[in-house]
Amino acid sequence: AQSVTQLGSHVSVSEGALVLLRCNYSSSVPPYLFWYVQYPNQGLQLLLKYTSAATLVKGINGFEAEFKKSETSFHLTKPSAHMSDAAEYFCAVSVYLDNDMRFGAGTRLTVKP
Amino acid sequence: ETGVTQSPTHLIKTRGQQVTLRCSSQSGHNTVSWYQQALGQGPQFIFQYYREEENGRGNFPPRFSGLQFPNYSSELNVNALELDDSALYLCASSLAIQKRTGELFFGEGSRLTVL
């Protein structure tokens, strides 16, 4: 079955610095990959998704991620962190016609002023 | 366009009791998935409903059950509550399986505390 591993449960950056959140996936078939963000006491909001089109995916709020099959990775980046980016970020994987989206354990992003 | 709505937002139960959580799917979506998110963890798949039938289940015991109604809304029922059932329960809706890309649209969740 497909799975994702998020490297680093907590990442701290300064405002204006690069944000890099790491995600590696495992799947026996071509996957769909997602990044979701969760603010305190809220549900999950989709940031971006990879669905086998362009390998560099741009999402909301200036985030982007690159699908690298050779590295089985789908890392999330943002060139310049903003205080409002502080939240929990989840990487997730799904496969076509499967009904079980698998989530990573999450990475908490802290942005320091 | 109405998003996914869940009720209640918070509730407290005691061990052994039963609970029902409700979810209204986003307009146009006929598939509903339920997830359990324990504190500090990622969401774990409970089950999915499509056309009023269970269409896949995660590693949860039978005391977790569900329903989907003709209007695509859904209920999650948990019997014989245990302390470890304390979690945020998330409902997510999506397009028909044949068209789906896997994207899920989440509600804000129901936070259950079991004492």
**A32-43 in b/e burial notation, b at 16+ Cβ within 10 A?**
bbbbbbbeeeeb
Question: B91: which 2 tokens?
Answer: 């409902």
Q: What is the DSSP letter of B25?
A: P
- At A43 the pLDDT is 85
In terms of CA atoms, which chain A residue is nearest residue B46? A100
Q: Give Cα B41 to chain centroid, integer Å.
A: 16
Contacts of B50 (CB under 8 A, 6+ apart): A99, B30, B31, B68, B96, B97
- At B101 the pLDDT is 63
Given a cut of 90, is residue B51 above it in pLDDT?
no
| Pairwise CA distance, residues A22 & A28, whole Å | 20
- B-chain residues within 8 Å CB-CB of A45? 106
Q: What number of other Cβ atoms are within 10 A of residue A66's Cβ?
A: 15
- At B1 the pLDDT is 56
Q: Do B58 and A97 touch (CB under 8 A)?
A: no
Give rounded-to-5 percent helix, strand, coil for chain A: 10, 55, 35
- At A30 the pLDDT is 83
- The B residues from 46 to 85 touching A (CB cutoff 8 Å) are 48, 50, 55-56, 58
Q: Do B42 and A97 touch (CB under 8 A)?
A: no
**Cβ-count burial of B27 within 10 angstroms (0-12 exposed, 13-18 middle, 19+ buried)?**
exposed
Q: Which of A27, A22, A31, A30 is nearest to A91 (CA)?
A: A22
- At A82 the pLDDT is 96
- A-chain residues within 8 Å CB-CB of B90? 43-44
Match 């509730």 to its residue by tokens. B11
**Predicted confidence pLDDT, tens digits, chain A (113 residues):** 789 999 999 999 999 999 999 999 998 888 889 999 999 878 899 999 998 778 999 999 999 999 999 999 999 999 999 999 999 999 999 876 566 789 999 999 999 99
